[in-house]
Amino acid sequence: MIGSDISTRYNWLDWARAMAISLVVLGHFYDLGGNVRFSSFIYGFHVPLFFLLSGITYKQKNLWNAEKTLILPFLFFQVIYIIWYTIIGLVHNEPIICVFKAQIFKFIYGLIMGGVMPAEMLWFVVVLIWDRLILNVFIRFKLLNYYTLGLFSICAFVFLIYIPFNLFFLKSVVLSFPFYFAGFFLKAKIAPPTQVCMNIHGGNRLFMYIFAIVLMGILFIGTQLNGMIYINASEYGSSLILFYLDGIIGCLGMLLICKSITISSSIVENISRSTLFLLCFHFWLVRYIRGILEHNDLIYPLYILISITVSAILILLGSFLYRITYPYLKVFYGKG
């Protein structure tokens, strides 16, 4: 996962991360005016899956050592995007100082108010930093009990409902933390539900795939009822209950599929390692490519085919660039 603390590699985790980042890239072809049904289906579980996987890979360590693996990449890619947008402004004959100042202001204001930053996709990293910090506090002060968690949950959801702005993305944290904590809990306390199902049915992969397909069908219905969600904007759709149910069902379905895959792939492993890089690398490219596709008014099936193909190319290209730049930039990738 992004900023993963886990030292031992697990094949199913690599597949889960690779599938999750693939859905993120593909999803960005459809949001903001794209196909709402397709978008709401993907958005209903792909980000919750990322938070769940991050909780599974959580490992307690010195707070700064844990958080710097997220803070340094966050700042590094924000600087890259600030420079990039400043260059674009220069190309369009805009005053370079004004563009640069505007991007700095956009970063500060976006971070404080939970809005759009230059590298806007990195809201996820800010929320993940909060999730780690909260879990660290619970563990260090031995607050992992039903009373404390219950009180925290009540206060958190009151904050989510009644506070009008997403200060430092804290409302997004309220939506994400249950998935992050669920991942930690599944690893630390009980066997994951996917493994329980595998044991009951003797590891029958066909049954797992059928069960996963059924879950995805239920998820599709649930996401259509709940509508589009944007965790970064603390928008959970029409129902908070449906939001969590959809996320749980989607995560379980994807984990069932990934736990059933026994094939090990160096390509998948490299994609899994480079999720943070891919998150930043694909965004501006998808924005421009999507604009070109929509400008040509393609028929829907052709648009799907092209977007899936382009998504796969971007993921493979990004993971390759990550691999060749990793020895020189690993500190800024959160691996140093």
39 pLDDT more than 70: yes
Q: Per the domain annotation, does 161 fall within a domain?
A: yes
Rounded Cα distance, 79 and 120, in Å:
12
Domain that holds residue 203: 11-329
- What per-residue confidence (pLDDT) applies to 64? 73
Please, which pLDDT band fits residue 179 given cuts at 50, 70 and 90? very high
Contact 232, 123 (CB under 8 A): yes
- What per-residue confidence (pLDDT) applies to 266? 93
User: CA nearest 182: which of 247, 241, 229?
Assistant: 247
Rounded Cα distance, 166 and 170, in Å:
6
233: DSSP letter? G
* DSSP notation for 138-204: HHHTT--SHHHHHHHHHHHHHHHHH--S-GGGHHHHHHHHHHHHHHHHHHHTS--HHHHHHHHTTT-
Containing H/E element for 260? helix 240-260
pLDDT digits (tens, 9 = 90+) for 139-163: 988 888 888 888 999 999 888 888 8
32 pLDDT more than 50: no
pLDDT digits (tens, 9 = 90+) for 283-319: 888 888 887 877 777 777 788 888 889 999 999 999 9
The region of weakest confidence among 15-19, 65-69, 179-183 is 65-69
Contact 258, 16 (CB under 8 A): yes
Q: Per the domain annotation, does 62 fall within a domain?
A: yes
Q: How many domains does the chain have?
A: 1
Rounded Cα distance, 49 and 185, in Å:
14
pLDDT digits (tens, 9 = 90+) for 245-284: 999 999 999 988 888 887 889 999 999 999 999 999 998 8
Please, which pLDDT band fits residue 187 given cuts at 50, 70 and 90? confident
Q: Per the domain annotation, does 2 fall within a domain?
A: no
Q: Per the domain annotation, does 125 fall within a domain?
A: yes
Q: Which range has the top average pLDDT, 4-18, 25-39, 157-171, 288-302?
A: 157-171
Q: Per the domain annotation, does 291 fall within a domain?
A: yes
Rounded Cα distance, 205 and 259, in Å:
9
Backbone angles phi, psi at 311, to 5 degrees: -60, -45
34: DSSP letter? S
The region of weakest confidence among 68-72, 127-131, 160-164 is 160-164
- Label residue 185 exposed, middle or buried (CB < 10 Å: 0-12, 13-18, 19+): middle
Q: Per the domain annotation, does 5 fall within a domain?
A: no
* DSSP notation for 46-83: HHHHHHHHHHHT-----HHHHHHHHHHHHHHHHHHHHH
Q: Per the domain annotation, does 131 fall within a domain?
A: yes
